[in-house]
Amino acid sequence: MLKSLLEHELNNLLKSKRIYTTVIMFLLLFVSIFVVRVIDYQKQVNQYIDDVLQNEEGLRSAENYSFINPRAIQQPIVFSIYNDGFKIPRVLNIQYYEPIIYAESLNEEDNIFFIDNNQLDITFLITFFLSLFILLISYDSVNGEKRVGTLRILMTYPLKRQTFILKKMFGVFFFVAITFTIPYVISFVSIIYMFVNILSINFLLSAFFYWLLTMLFILFFSLLGIFISCCSTNPNRSLVYSLLVWILFRIVLPISWDYIIYPRLYDEQVLHLRTIQGDKQYEKTRVEFDVNPHWSGNFIQYSGEGFYNSWVFAFKETMDGRDQLLRYMYDEVYPLTFEVEQARDDVIRYLINTENVKNWVFFFNPIVLFNNLSMKITGNSRGDYLRFLHSARELRNELVSLGIEEGWLLDYRFNAYVPEKYNVLDYDVLYEQVEGDYERMGEFVHEFIGDDRYEMRLPVFRRYEQPIYSFGEIFERIFVYLVLFVVSIVVLWVMTWRKFLKYDVR
């Protein structure tokens, strides 16, 4: 029975010009956004490959360097094509004694498709256009049949009213689901074909969960359209209702969170946490600058445009002073580094909490849920950023511990070593050598460091890969909200069914 009804509904939808146009428009948008995102991703990959090569080269000659600059810790996330989410900086400078002080993707500079806070991804396509298209397809599914008159004939058949609603719901659902799934699968195959080494269980899991979430999203909006169709006997009126509901869900509610609810509830606390972080940062910087120059030589910092780095180097002539400097760093600067990191984590954790609260506040709004869940699925959430930071710090700590174990710390492990022949005794002399150019000062240090005694084996940069999540982990991340999603669908189904039970079919 349902099969016949469903088959008929799908055929009916397929023959409708309005729906045909809508589908074509959706497919064109899908292809356009996909192509733009793929080009963007390709540029990120190219940059990443350059970064890795540069880094490997750095590692190969690391015995001569006093610092390590792991520039490409993580691959660009494939799912940024589908969900850009919270933008995770890919390139990090991590230094001993330093927190992660600056992060940027070099790719951002020369990629014309790369826009800050870019939302033009497949998730945007789904939450903005697909939701609208589903409502445009389903807004007259019930009252349209009533207007034509076929509803009356159908109701003289012994079919249950909920069967009719099921027919309508699954008709719209399957139609839209197929419309989405076909380009989605094709896009996946294209990605796998275009980018080598992408295919993994993790990738497939994310793809599956993303698809599953989209199916729930489509189901919700199909039902919503049918519910609206049951609320009015006039299709034109239900079209207006649909648009109003869409504006409410897609625009008004998210904006109300950003500009009304969030500032009232959280701004104060976020500001407080950020102030703590700022204070810690200031304290650490102050202590860094407080280094006694007679201990070691110089503690030089320079900043270029948006770039901040620090260099510590000592001289043979002032070995005792350098040891004192190291101890000072260990005793004073390093603990403060951890405090700064802790304060930064507190801010991020608090922001993650507010996002989770948002999910609960808007449990009835699938657009908010979809946005948040898709970020969790694809590894682009704020939580992933935190995880990434921790991962990067682990790497730094690993290097530190390695240095300690090998006994390098008290020698020249992380300090630039300037050969005696240059007889650079202090900052002023060095400054003169490089003619006042801070950039050249860095190069100078690179160029003249070298001592075979300090050859060391560096840890493998095992994080040159996508974050790995197991099925259980992804499921755990989204389980609660997935249940919320399903509950909201069930509630909407009951509302629609009850509404149609009382619907005047005449």
Partner 1 sequence: MLKIVELCKTYEDGILALHNVCIDIVKGQIFALLGANGAGKSTTINIICGFIPASDGDIWVDDISLKDNPRLMRSKIAYLSENVMLYDNFTGYQNLKFFADISHSEKRKLEKGNISENMEKSLSQKEYLTQILRDVGLQDDFIHVNISKYSKGMRQKVGIAIALVKDAPLLLLDEPFSGLDPKAAYDFQKLLYKLRNEGKTILMSTHDIFRAKEMADIICIMKEGEVVMTKTRDELESEDLNKIYLDYIEGRVAPMPLNMPSISNFVVR
Binding region for partner 1 (CB under 8 A) out of 147-155, 209-217, 232-240, 256-264: 147-155
Among 149, 306, 407, 436, binds partner 1 (CB under 8 A): 149
Among 24, 49, 53, 153, binds partner 1 (CB under 8 A): 153
Residue 221 Cα distances to 99, 163, 179, 213, 263, angstroms: 46, 18, 15, 13, 30
Please, which residues have CB within 8 angstroms of residue 109's CB and are 6 or more apart in sequence? none
C-beta of 11 vs 21, nearer to partner 1: 11
The residue written with tokens 């511990």 in the block is 401
Binding region for partner 1 (CB under 8 A) out of 153-161, 288-296, 314-322, 405-413: 153-161
Distance in Å, CB of 178 to partner 1, minimum: 18
Interface with partner 1, residue 11, by CB under 8 A: yes
Show the site string, 95-134: x = touches partner 1 by CB under 8 A, - = not: ----------------------------------------
Tell me the DSSP string of 269-337: HHHHHHHHHHHHHHHHHHHHHT--HHHHEEEEEEEETTEEEEEEEE-GGGHHHHHHHHHHIIIIIHHHH
Residue 416 DSSP class: E
Q: Classify residue 113 as exposed, middle or buried by CB count within 10 Å of its CB (0-12, 13-18, 19+).
A: middle
Interface with partner 1, residue 457, by CB under 8 A: no
Interface with partner 1, residue 160, by CB under 8 A: yes
Binding region for partner 1 (CB under 8 A) out of 10-18, 110-118, 127-135, 202-210: 10-18
Among 109, 112, 117, 158, binds partner 1 (CB under 8 A): 158
Distance in Å, CB of 9 to partner 1, minimum: 10
Of 19, 2, 24, 74, nearest in space to 390 by CA: 74
∠ CA 308-310-315, nearest 5°, is: 160
Q: What are phi and psi of 413, to 5 degrees?
A: -50, -55
Show the site string, 486-505: x = touches partner 1 by CB under 8 A, - = not: ------------------xx
Distance in Å, CB of 177 to partner 1, minimum: 21
Among 25, 31, 115, 148, binds partner 1 (CB under 8 A): 148
Binding region for partner 1 (CB under 8 A) out of 150-158, 243-251, 319-327, 419-427: 150-158
Integer Cα distance of 71 and 360 in angstroms: 38
Which pair of tokens denotes residue 47? 């940059």
Interface with partner 1, residue 16, by CB under 8 A: yes
Residue 349 Cα distances to 352, 361, 444, angstroms: 5, 18, 41
Distance in Å, CB of 160 to partner 1, minimum: 7
The residue written with tokens 């010009």 in the block is 17
User: What residues line the site for partner 1 (CB under 8 A)?
Assistant: 1, 4-5, 8, 11-12, 15-16, 148-150, 152-160, 504-506
